[in-house]
Structure formats: C-alpha cells, structure tokens
C-alpha cells in the first residue's frame, strides 16, 4: 500500500511538472501579432509624407494689358512684364480615403485617385524683366496676384497632362509596398493595390 501511494504521488508530481513545463512552453512561444485593417491603415497614414511626389519646375511668362475703346487700342495704356520663378507641386493620394480589407492571406488596398496636395511658388526666385508701365494704366499689385494665380493653374494643367498624377499614384503604390516590406508583411500576404472605383 505504501508503494502504491508513493507511485501515485510520483505520477501526480510528474503530471504537475509536465503540465507546468507544457504551459510554460506554449505561453513562451512567440505569437505573431494579428494584422488588422485599422492597424495597416494607421501605419500607412503616418507615412503619408513618404507617399507623395514633388514636381519642381521653373516657369517664365509674359503679362500684357492694354486699354481698349470701342475695339481700338488706346495709346499710352500698355503695361507688361516678363516674370521668371521656381515652384513646386506636391501630389499624392489622400490616405484617409483608402479602403483596406484582409481576407485570408490577401490584403486588398483601394486608393483614391492621386491629386494635387499643394502648389507653392518660391518668392525668392521671382525675377521680373522688361517691365513696361503706363501713366494711364499703371501696374498694380492685383495684376501680379491675378497673373500668379492664372499661371499656377496653367502649370498644374500642364503637369497633369504630362502624367504627374499617374506618376504620383505609381509612387504611392511603390511606397506602400516598401512600408509593408519593413515588417515582412508582403512575404506573408499577397498584396493588391488598386484605385477606388
């Protein structure tokens, strides 16, 4: 009977030791964090500056204005100047509007179309040439302001025509893949990046 009790106690102790080490081993195994849509969206939104494209340009344009009276040019009313300046257009996608869905081992990211995010003219680069002023039609600050606004719109249209927004969307796709490769997410999941419909 004593040997039977000793045998049962030894078995119980071995079971307790086995359960302890088994639980310790299971608890200490490294669990990979679950990737969720909100986790990915937050990570990508924080890197939004990396996902934009800068277009740097130099522009030279002529402004000319003259007063007319019944279709005839009034003498001594012509004002004009030629202006040269540098500018930059920042374009990219608004990551707050992206949709992310995870299904099994596939991540689908839908991005809005690229758009112009900012357009600035470097005021220190402005040079004015061939300025002609008239006493009857003097140059005003509003002339320069209106001309600058018109030129910004013209440069933006020209840049878009040359493919700026397509390049910005492609840059966004490449940047997102690079960001996801840092944590090797792209090795564990198939990633599809497309435009929102």
CA R_g for the chain: 33
> pTM to 2 decimals?
0.68
First-to-final CA distance of the chain: 80
Question: Residue 87 has what pLDDT?
Answer: 93
pLDDT along the chain (197 residues), means of 10: 71 70 61 71 76 86 72 72 87 90 90 92 82 62 72 92 94 89 82 87
Question: Residue 56 has what pLDDT?
Answer: 92
Question: Residue 127 has what pLDDT?
Answer: 84
Among the residues of 29-163, which ranges form H helices? 37-46, 141-161
Tens of pLDDT, residue by residue over 130-152, are 766 666 556 565 666 777 788 89
């Amino acid at each position: 009977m004593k040997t039977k009790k000793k045998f049962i106690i030894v078995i119980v102790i071995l079971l307790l030791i086995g359960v302890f080490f088994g639980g310790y081993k299971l608890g200490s195994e490294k669990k990979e964090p679950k990737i969720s849509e909100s986790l990915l969206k937050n990570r990508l939104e924080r890197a939004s500056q990396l996902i934009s494209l800068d277009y740097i340009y130099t522009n030279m344009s002529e402004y000319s204005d003259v007063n007319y009276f019944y279709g005839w040019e009034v003498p001594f009313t012509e004002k004009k100047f030629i202006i040269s300046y540098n500018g930059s257009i920042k374009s990219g996608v608004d990551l707050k509007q992206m949709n992310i869905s995870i299904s099994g081992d596939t991540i689908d990211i839908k991005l809005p179309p690229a758009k112009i995010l900012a357009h600035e003219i470097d005021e220190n680069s402005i040079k004015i040439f061939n300025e002609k002023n008239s006493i009857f039609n003097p140059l005003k600050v509003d002339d320069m302001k209106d001309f600058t606004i018109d030129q910004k719109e013209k440069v933006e249209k020209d840049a878009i025509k040359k493919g700026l927004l397509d390049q910005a969307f492609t840059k966004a796709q490449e940047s997102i893949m690079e960001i996801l490769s840092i944590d090797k997410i792209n090795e564990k999941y198939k990633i599809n990046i497309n435009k929102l419909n």
